[in-house]
Amino acid sequence: MRGATDWIPTQNKAFRDKQDVYFALVVANKVAWGIPDTAIDPMLILQAEFMGLYNIIKDREKRTAAQVADFNDCKKRYAKAWRLFHKAWVAFNPAISKQDMVDLVGKDYDSEPSPHPDINDIPLVGPRAQGGGDLEFRVRVTEDTKMASMHPAANLIELRFVILEVGDIPPADENDYPKKEVSSRAKFTLALGLKNTGKKFFGIFRWVNTHKPRTAGHWTEAISVVIA
């Protein structure tokens, strides 16, 4: 990839144009890319808020300092949510082609063979309910029988999960899990809240490398634990 410039512009008009193209592509391809409405809808709400304020503050003669402050706050929240959305649903999504990624992010990608090998290992996951709605996970590579450990070719653990009533059946397809998280650590905690105590967590995990998304590893079978 050439250059290290930020893919989200800071200049207001460029930011507006970029987010318009990005989320139009996401909405148009959400089924093919496996991105659920539950992930997209909050972004569209922020987009509407941003555009409403942008249309106000672009008039330099009539805008007020308070309106500019509201716009800057909205833009900051939108950009933060956009980065998280991109990291969770786009950056290492194997269903998104190289050209689509260029259209989304606006960057050129190396066509050289990847220095990172494909990740064939499936994570071994040990979940533990900690109380208060928190779940602790220890993830390790197959060869490591005791210690939590990251795969040497991965820089993140990706997990998709759903919270169901005890006795309910989890999704059969990885794209049907509505929630998504990533961790750069092999031992991490997921805070699910007291409202979910007594329910059952189902999650699938895999190794990923955000620099070479298409080297992502295989998903685990569904891992389950009752939330305490």
**Yes or no: domain 124-226 corresponds to CATH 3.40.50.150:** no
pLDDT at 205: 96
Best CA proximity match to 135, nearest among 82, 205, 88, 85: 205
- The lowest-confidence range among 26-35, 46-55, 87-96, 182-191 is 87-96
Domain boundaries, the chain: 12-105, 124-226
Residue 43 confidence (pLDDT) above 60: yes
Higher local confidence (pLDDT), 149 or 190: 190
Q: Which residues contact 14 (CB under 8 A, 6 or more apart)?
A: none
Residue 118 confidence (pLDDT) above 50: yes
Higher local confidence (pLDDT), 214 or 194: 194
pTM for this structure? Answer: 0.53
pLDDT at 139: 95
Q: How far is CA 218 from the centre of its chain?
A: 17
